[in-house]
A and B are shown apart, each in its own frame.
Chain A
Amino acid sequence: MRLEVCDAVCGYGTKKVVENISFTVQSGEILCLLGPNGVGKTTLFKSILGLIKMLGGVIKVDGENVHAWPKKKLAQTFGYVPQAHTPPFPFTVRDVVIMGRTAYLGKFASPSKVDEEIAEQALDTLGISHLADRVYTEISGGERQLVLIARALTQQPQILIMDEPTSNLDFGNQARVLGQINELAKKGLAVIMTSHFPNHVFLCSTKVALMQKNNKFSVGSVEEVVTEENLKSAYGIDVKITTAADDCHTLRSCIPIIN
Chain B
Amino acid sequence: MKRFSMSNTVVFLQKNRAEYYLTAILVPVLVLVCLCSLTMGRYAISLSDIFSVFYTKIFAVDLAIPANVETVLFKVRIPRIIAAVLVGASLSVSGASYQGLFRNPMVSPDILGASAGAGFGAALGILLSFGTVGIQLYSFLFGLGAVALAVVISSAITRGNNVTLVLVLTGMVVSTLFSSFVSLIKYVADPYSKLPAITFWLMGSLSTASMKDVKMMLFPFLLGVVPLMLLRWKLNVLSFGEEEAKTMGVETAKLRMAVIICSTLLTAGSVSVCGIIGWIGLVIPHFARMLAGPNYKILLPVSLLFGSIFLIIVDTVARSAFPLEIPLGILTSLVGAPFFIYLLFKGKRGWL
Contact = CB atoms under 8 A, between A and B. Distances in A.
Given A110-B233, A121-B5, A51 B349 contact: no
A104 B181 CA distance: 48
Interface residues of A, number: 47
A124 B249 contact: no
Nearest to B159: A13
A89 B246 contact: no
Given A72-B249, A75-B248, A132-B8, A90 B294 contact: yes
Interface in A39-89: 46, 49-52, 71-72, 74-76, 78-80, 82, 86-89
Given A51-B246, A86-B350, A129-B4, A116 B295 contact: no
A224 interface: no
A129 B289 contact: no
A13 B158 CA distance: 12
A102 B12 CA distance: 19
Interface string B226-258: 000011111011011101111111110000000
A87 B11 contact: no
Using C-beta atoms within 8 Å of the partner chain, give the interface range for chain B: 35 or more
Contact of A51 (B5, B236, B243, B350): B243
A231 B160 CA distance: 34
Contacts of A238: none
A163 to B, nearest CB: 10
Nearest to B229: A108
A156 to B, nearest CB: 12
A87 B99 CA distance: 12
Nearest to A53: B160
A102 B275 CA distance: 39
Interface in B335-352: 349-351
Nearest to B289: A89
Contacts of A117: 9
Nearest to B246: A51
B12 to A, nearest CB: 6
Given A87-B240, A110-B233, A124-B5, A99 B103 contact: no
B248 A103 contact: yes
Nearest to B240: A87
22 contacts: A12-B159, A12-B160, A51-B247, A74-B249, A75-B249, A76-B249, A80-B244, A80-B248, A87-B240, A89-B294, A90-B349, A92-B295, A95-B236, A95-B293, A102-B245, A103-B248, A103-B249, A110-B233, A121-B5, A129-B8, A132-B8, A155-B248
Given A92-B293, A103-B248, A103-B249, 18 more contacts: A12-B160, A13-B159, A51-B243, A71-B246, A74-B249, A87-B103, A88-B105, A89-B100, A89-B294, A92-B295, A99-B248, A100-B248, A102-B250, A111-B233, A117-B9, A124-B4, A132-B8, A138-B350
